[in-house]
């Protein structure tokens, strides 16, 4: 196994990215990177505007870089990234019809050793600023699938609830060392 592998957990809102990223980090003795968008919404009391999307993407990237540096110092083998710059590009396109972030997102996505696509098969839970509804979740899931296919990004689908979801993700990560 290389010294550090970044694992991307990507999916629409309310697909369990944060919970799963933390559980995988605990299981593999790695670190996890929280989704910057959540922090932004909590700090500002609102969702971002169109002109803030590039800064959101950059902040996600910078957080991942900082955690990766910490992981290298601590000799951790894995960094689990909750969301990705690609997700910011998708939301920017979905909400603001702005596709300008896709080229950068595509370049940044190459840093991940593995992409886990989380399916929207968990119960819907409203969560303040970020939760727009099940229809948006379904739409965004389709957009994420399309973007990964268009970019030719290999990915592993993760479905199921509770321990089944975690076990599916663990098996997917173990493919990197098998």
pTM, two decimals, is 0.93
Which pLDDT band holds residue 131 (cuts at 50, 70, 90)? low
- Residue 129: the pLDDT is 57
HSE-up (13 A, CA, CB side) for residue 45: 0
Outline where DSSP puts E strands in the chain: 5-10, 31-33, 78-82, 114-118, 156-158
CATH label of the domain that carries residue 20: 3.40.50.300
pLDDT at 124: 76
Determine the pLDDT at residue 1.
42
- For 128: left if phi > 0, alpha if psi spans -120 to 50, otherwise beta; the answer is left
Please tell me the total count of domains within the chain: 1
Residues 67-107 pLDDT 10s: 999 999 999 999 999 989 999 999 999 999 999 999 999 99
Segment 34-50, tens digit of pLDDT: 999 988 988 998 889 99
Residue 116 predicted with pLDDT over 70: yes
Mean predicted confidence (pLDDT) in 39-68: 94
Q: State residue 128's pLDDT score.
A: 61
pLDDT tens column, 165-177: 999 999 999 988 7
Q: Which of 142, 144, 126 is nearest to 88 (CA)?
A: 144
Q: What is the rounded average pLDDT for all residues in the chain?
A: 91
Domain residues for the domain of 91 are 5-174
């Amino acid at each position: 196994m290389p010294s550090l592998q970044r694992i991307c957990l990507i999916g629409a809102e309310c697909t369990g990215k944060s919970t799963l990223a933390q559980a995988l980090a605990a299981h593999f003795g790695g670190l996890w990177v929280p989704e910057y968008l959540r922090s932004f919404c909590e700090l500002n009391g609102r969702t971002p505007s169109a002109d803030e999307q590039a800064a959101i993407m950059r902040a996600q990237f910078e957080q991942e870089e900082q955690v990766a540096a910490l992981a290298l110092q601590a000799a951790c083998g894995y960094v689990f990234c909750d969301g990705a710059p690609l997700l910011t590009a998708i939301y920017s396109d979905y909400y603001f019809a702005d596709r300008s972030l896709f080229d950068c997102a595509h370049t940044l996505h190459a840093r991940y050793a593995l992409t886990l696509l989380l399916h929207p098969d968990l119960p819907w839970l409203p969560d303040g600023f970020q939760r727009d509804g099940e229809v948006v979740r379904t739409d965004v899931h389709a957009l994420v699938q399309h973007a990964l296919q268009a970019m030719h990004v290999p990915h592993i689908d993760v479905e199921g609830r509770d321990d089944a979801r975690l076990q599916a993700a663990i098996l997917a990560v173990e493919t990197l060392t098998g």
